[in-house]
Amino acid sequence: MNSLALINEFLGQPPNASSHGYQIDHILEFCHWFMAALFFGWSAFFIFVLIRFRKRRQPTADHAGVRSGISTHLEFSVVLIEAVLLLGFAIPLWAKRVNQFPPGKEALVVHVVAQQFSFNYHLPGPDGQFGRRDVSFVTNANPLGLDPNDPAGKDDIVTTGELHVPVNRPVICELSSKDVIHDFFLPSMRIAGDAIPGLLIPIWFTPIKTGTDEVICGQLCGLGHYGMKGTLVVDTPQDYQAWLKERAELAGGTQGAASSQSPGAPKTENAPTQPQPSPGAPQQPKNKPAAPAPSPNPGG
């Protein structure tokens, strides 16, 4: 995998950190080599034709053209390789991603709610139940509009900018947006999905390496799009439990108050050293959230 990933690395792709990512890396690597071969092959052929059929050597046009079948064979091989790539690799890989979700009990389910210009995360807390959300409860302190009267939401955890997940456990992110179309992109996890107002779009991945990874918005969503970054911290199970406990203590029963980012220093040795990019801090969303947060779906 790593020994093959020459072009991927050259193009600045971060190392893979998810269980399915190596398949994507393989297909990307193969496509890049294939495109390189096509580029140099066709370029060489083009230069050959320019010289071979120059006017000085061929003053009158030959209307019969080439009689050898080599170009037909070449073109047929290109079509064949592309068909194998698409039907043999790309479509099955994609189908696996969208059809074979891990069971809800085994996976960690997180609601990812994008807004201009940050990502909010909603976790169900120890009871495993997401509290109800409604746009009428949205305030600066309660960015997701958690219903204060819903008992299921009392222990919910809401964070902005930084999400922690345990290593080697599938994570299902249900994406939605409060304003415009964003894209929740985890380059090192080789996964991305659009966050669209009014829709709940699930994506999933299994992190296989602890550490800190970048979260970016993959859709040009407004003036502050460039700053719409976040952090995904992959913890050991112990560190993850410690983080959950810390978040719960910070929330202190007053839900929605836990919207400050990166409180305290995370206890991992891979803790981010750079300051948080303060998503959305200077630029509060100018437009009021137009669409209501999608109704939560307890139990995933």
Q: Residues interacting with Cu ion, by CB under 5 A? A: 182, 217, 221, 228
Contact in structure between 150 and 189 (CB atoms under 8 Å): no
Work out how close the CB of 284 gets to Cu ion at its nearest, in angstroms, rounded to a whole number. 15
User: In angstroms, what CA-CA distances link 70 with 18, 46, 67?
Assistant: 43, 15, 9
Residues 6+ apart with CB under 8 A from 33: 7
Contact in structure between 117 and 280 (CB atoms under 8 Å): yes
User: Quick one: 117 or 243, whose CB is closer to Cu ion?
Assistant: 117
Work out how close the CB of 134 gets to Cu ion at its nearest, in angstroms, rounded to a whole number. 23
Structure token digits, residue 58: 């061929």
User: Quick one: 132 or 229, whose CB is closer to Cu ion?
Assistant: 229
User: Quick one: 152 or 180, whose CB is closer to Cu ion?
Assistant: 180
193: helix, strand or coil? strand
Residues 6+ apart with CB under 8 A from 180: 116, 197, 221, 222
User: Quick one: 132 or 182, whose CB is closer to Cu ion?
Assistant: 182
DSSP letter string, 143-163: TT-B-TT-GGGTT-EEEESEE
Work out how close the CB of 114 gets to Cu ion at its nearest, in angstroms, rounded to a whole number. 6
User: Quick one: 144 or 228, whose CB is closer to Cu ion?
Assistant: 228
C-alpha triplet 78, 81, 84: angle, nearest 5°:
150
To the nearest 5 percent, what fractions of the chain are helix, strand and coil?
Answer: 30, 20, 50
Work out how close the CB of 259 gets to Cu ion at its nearest, in angstroms, rounded to a whole number. 18
Work out how close the CB of 196 gets to Cu ion at its nearest, in angstroms, rounded to a whole number. 11
Work out how close the CB of 15 gets to Cu ion at its nearest, in angstroms, rounded to a whole number. 25
Give yes or no for a cis peptide into 117 (omega within 30° of 0).
Answer: yes
User: Quick one: 118 or 188, whose CB is closer to Cu ion?
Assistant: 118
User: Quick one: 177 or 188, whose CB is closer to Cu ion?
Assistant: 177
Work out how close the CB of 221 gets to Cu ion at its nearest, in angstroms, rounded to a whole number. 3
